[in-house]
Amino acid sequence: MASLLEAGFRASHGIIPALDSETLDEIKAVIAATTRIPGVVGYKVGLTAVLRLGLAKAVQELRGFTDLPLIYDHQKAGPDVPDMAAKFSAICREAGVDGLILFPVAGPRAVREFAGGAIRNGLLPIVGGDLPLPDYNVSGGGYVADDALSRIISEAVKLGVDHFVIPANNAPRVRQLAANIVDLIDHPPGLVLPGIGALGGSIRDVFAAAGQCRCYAVVGRAIYQAPDPAAAAKALAEEALAFA
């Protein structure tokens, strides 16, 4: 299967602002302030806008402010039963998003159906399984197996998936997973890295740890709660672009 990179982001490194502000006006203001900044490669659309407006209406509203990719994060799609995958992917395609963040922790068939469904609908699957939280995995007192993400990645690459979500608050683990992914794929994969700033991650540390991978830092509060979101995004984007 051909690489999905051409369906992804327009630069090899950058930042993805998370549009998690409480109101649509606040979300639009963040996009208007940041969409022309070099190194801002797309936006993560989450539950706040979608629960208020519905997915299709939210995408329609946001498209008036940016032509950058809109990545829908369903908080998180993939744990559902695999039979829901085809419906979910088709609805997201009809709504006009460009990619989906998927956490198919329900098992190998969920990986195949949710990631495969995204591909069949012309959407970029960005596949993960871990969150940047200390009590998410079993070793930290959580419920998700420590090796779940590695196993999900191994299954996803069989489908041609080449974009993955890896928590950014643990640079040694980013280094390990990035090296493993590079061994599985014959071209530079894309890593989407949440957990920058408030959750402890550093663009400089995790981009350096990612080696040959294309890297995109997901940044929420450090931009949308900043006194000057444009200045905050510009500084973060310049830090990311230093690795391009």
pLDDT digits (tens, 9 = 90+) for 85-111: 999 999 999 999 999 999 999 999 999
Alpha-carbon torsion 241, 10, 183, 151, what sign? positive
The pLDDT tens digits for 212-241 are 899 999 999 999 999 999 999 999 999 999
**Among 121, 34, 114, which Cα is nearest to 77's?**
114
At residue 42, the pLDDT reads: 96
- Model's pTM, two decimal places? 0.94
Residue 4 has pLDDT above 80, yes or no: no
Could you tell me the two tokens for 242? Answer: 């230093």
Give the burial class of 217: count Cβ atoms within 10 A of its Cβ; 0-12 exposed, 13-18 middle, 19 or more buried: buried
AA identity, residue 91: I
For residue 243, the SS3 value is coil
The pLDDT tens digits for 166-193 are 999 999 999 999 999 999 998 889 999 9
**Percentage of the chain lying above the pLDDT 90 cut:** 84
At residue 1, the pLDDT reads: 36
Q: Please state which CATH class domain 5-241 belongs to.
A: alpha beta
Could you tell me the two tokens for 6? Answer: 């051409």
- Domain extents in the chain: 5-241
Instruction: Work out the mean pLDDT of the chain and round it to a whole number.
Output: 93
Q: Report the helix count and the strand count for the chain, using DSSP H and E.
A: 10, 8
Reported confidence tier of residue 2, pLDDT bands at 50, 70, 90: very low
Residues 144, 138 contacting (CB under 8 angstroms): yes
Residues 77, 48 contacting (CB under 8 angstroms): no
